[in-house]
Structure 1
Amino acid sequence: MPAMALLFAVAWPLRADWTGFGDYAAVAEVSVEEDAVRVNLRLRESGLPRLRALLGRADDAPASDLAGGLLRIVADRQGAAEFEILKLETNTSGKDGTGVAEAYFEADLNLPLARRPTGLTLSPPDRAAKALGLVVLHRGVPVADLAPLSKPARLQLDWNDPWQSRFADAERVRRHTEPRSFVYVEPYEVRHELLLRLSDLLPRLEIAPVNPHRIEGEEREKLRQAIGTLLLRRNPLRLDGVEVTARLDRIEFVRYRRSGVETIADSEPLDSATAVVGAILVYLTERPAGAVELTWEWFDAAGTGRAVSLQRDNETFDADVTQRDPVFRWSVEEALDTPGPEDSNPSSETFAARPSGTADLPLRAAGIALAMAVGWRWRRRRLLPPGTGGQLILTLAIAGCVAFYPEIAGLCADAGRTTPASAEDPVKSELEALLHNVYRAFQMPEEESAYDRLAISLSGEVLDEVYLSQRAALLQRRKGLGSDGRVERVQVLTTEIESLDQESGRCVVNARWIAHGSISHWGHSHPRSTLYAARLVLSRAEDGRLRIAALAFADARKPQSVALSS
């Protein structure tokens, strides 16, 4: 079944707007290097009329005539200079891997530098308002987040430490102040993602690169291992008051670009002055964590506070830790009152009947007898009209039965339902539990634990195929390919039973369900909901539990991404 891999795929592709590209008619990414200022400029097709009016050009002026006039950069001690246009092209599909949904014009511009300037002045056209978006990097380090350039901006450059380069305008801020932590609280896992400057880590390591400005090859791998060993021992995290052991998920060398954080290819050398280390530590849990305490141990000489962001569902909690108060604390009481996965996935009752409540049978019988005695007493004292005593006794007896045996009301409500419909409710509950457990296995890095978890819900060829798919997905994630996907809740929409063998417990069912989850990476999280439709065979194993023994999708189409408010 080739389509089986689609069922439990949890690494959704990231489709997002190009860092707010849709908010502007054009966006410029300015990269300041030692020998030149390079600009990648993108002009949205729908924004061309606005840009033509801004620059006073004719209504039919091509985009190539606009590129050179949207941004003016003057370097200290060098004066004004003209851009060299290195590339001009049009993307009509809007599909460049960044999620841009419309055609755009792209230009690469180059401004040579005779010497390293102490500063730059960046100016837009007059009355630019919010037409031009600007993001600036100095030697690969983000100087400020994407923001509109509506007036001249002065950039002060620190060539020894690009992290200290700053805009004079206080409104231009860099959200990614390093180091930084992102903590994700998920149903069966707490994940701690760290973004750290390599220059801050090197003094704490037992190894030192031969050339810190060009780290490559075998040195990179040794550096990665040393950093992982260090991180597992530092910045302890407590869940529900208990210190827990971290599992190292990955170590990457990353950098910032207009589309966010991206991995630096192994073939590229690292510069310790600008490189960023991305690390992911995982803490597996048996239930959602109710309290988190993260103790931060690394501060610079100035004692600068460090930012920590915790995300749970769609809520984010931000705080700074300092040397005086180095502990980040969060508890579920701070969150909105939203149902957790345990509430959304009721434990299965399989095909068992409703509980009979025989444990409190004497109490229930006494209650019915009491109701009948009250009616008899009223009749003997002639407190009732003639002929009504029998009816009252019967009424009180029935009321007592319903009050002390509420199952009777449920049986009455089911009386008008057909047999197949009444059987679908436990099937739906059972299927939700089975599917949720399989998605849970994808969060387990150990092969044995993952297989054991899958074996609770699957059997036969389905078990082997899903297990192999899970291992392949995990390997890709460890290589840094794709973002992390997590399924948080399974919602079974419909179950239509084809056949049901009460004796063997074998059930063939056509089902539709939604896997609610999210993809997250380095501080960015996006909700994803995917709709599935399949024909499943549920069979009862020797231990009495139901398992998915076979599965086939209803058609050859891939699962659909759906946008839901829930």
Structure 2
Amino acid sequence: MPNQILSLKWCSAIVALGLAAAVEGRAQDTIQIGPLKPLQTLPSLGPAIPPTSVLPKSGLPGGLVPPAGQPPAAAASPQLPGAAPSAGMVPPPTITSGSTLTPGATLGAGGTLTTPPTLTPGAALTPPVNLTPGSTVMPGSAALPGSALTPPPTLTPGSTLAPASPLTPASVPTPPPATSASAPAAPPPLPTSSSVVITGPIAQTYLYIEPYQTRFEALFDAASVLAWLSPDVPLPESLTPEQQKQISEKVAAQAGDWCSLSTGDQALAVPQPLVTVIKGLPGNTLPMKEGETLALNQALVGLMWEFATPPGPDELNVTWKGWFKGISKLPVRVFFGPQTETGEIHAAIKNYRWRNLGRMTRPAPLVAVPQITRPAPVRVPMGGIVWVLGGLVFYIYLKIKDHKLPGGSLPYFAVWLLGGVLMSQLLIVPYHPKSATPTVTQVAEAQQIVSPLLRNVYRAFDHHVESDVYDVLARSVDGELLRKLYLETIQALTLDGREGTRVTIAEFAVTVDKVEKNPQGPGFVADCNWNARGIVGHWGHSHPRVNIYNARVTITPVKDEWKLTGLEVQEVRRL
């Protein structure tokens, strides 16, 4: 019985040794095992192999990648040398009693234990291992190249050994990507910004309702307009300045009656449309340089009609007749004051109606022109003076001729005095004594005169008919300055570019810094600065405009009113 137990233990030791040798054959050529104690089992040598460990490929043909579908444990199970792939493990050879295993012993072909001639670099040398009866070697005990083996810990009888850690497959380096042959350079895209690329047909209209003017704008993509103008001509990739001019002229010649406007039942005169080629998208137009060639997929054609309307219309009716192929409705966005609303014009109805409903108030009246304060006229009773003088002349005549008054002199004097009182109320002539023009020397006094005059100048340009603008300007400006101021203010309030849209002033403030007497006549000269802030909307978006002026103005009396007769702008800043 003891011999059978001893034989079984020896067989277990040999099997474990065979497994270790098989794994070592894959990972390393040698193995070192520490001293074994009787009736004890050995744990795996050292800690578990880190997952990131990489083994040399010299002992792992093809790498350690397990076959597809096979679990890692099965893939890592070693086979003894000489065993058939399908036969599994073969019984270990028998080792006679007294055999000694040296460190790094491996199992060779035929079951013969051999000792390799070299040791693994960095492995610690330990004494030979003597297998005593009952000793067992843990399968899978293997050393990595360059690692030092330490003696295994001492285990008490009955301890359970954990299975050896599986080996991590070697990392396969990824080959560098192949360099593809250089493709021919593609032509650069036409647009300079992808945010303004037109990808399809565009049709959009805007209705701007302002005091004394209503403006209707329509935007179409240039490709649709060109297809409508010349359906048999291929579309160009870009539009030169000459082509842009030709498009504007052709469209303006045919679009004169496309838009009409009426206030209630009263039809308004239809102006000539302004047509221009625009860069961008509705609500996102971009400025263009003079002579710029525009890509077709960035080009819009804009049409604008400006109608003179009452300051606060109750109702507006827009009629549209310019329909392109494929367009059955036009979106309309209405701007009035700080408010906005949307609508549509359908091809079947061709009309859009906007109602005020009290949402847009009339503009405030003009500020009163400052008056010159003069002393009150003297009331001269010319009728009483003539009556008294006539009575005196008649009395002197009687005395000279020595005539007697019938009834005495007393009734005569009574009638004379009564007639003088009555005649004094019948003919009164006012007399204005000659007085000098009031002298303005204080900044506060000049501020009260200059501020309303300049404010009325800007309010005059709320009107869009030239004659109306001149009429309002003439209330505050006089002389040669009237024409000059009209032209300069028109230029200052007109938006840069080819649209010709005018800024509507919403805020105005003026400050007088210095006052002095006018060296060329009556009145005064004031150094002042003012700022005018306004907003102009066109093509679906708005532009704020703030102008700051530093100027020297001359104010003179004209028919008992203060008027602006001189303006010398010293500095202009546009924000």
TM-score range, shorter chain: 0.3 to 0.5
Q: Taking structure 1 as the reference length, what is the TM-score of the superposition?
A: 0.45
Structure having the larger proportion of residues in strand = 1
Larger relative contact order, structure 1 or 2 (CA cutoff 8 Å, min sep 6)? 1
Higher Rg: 2
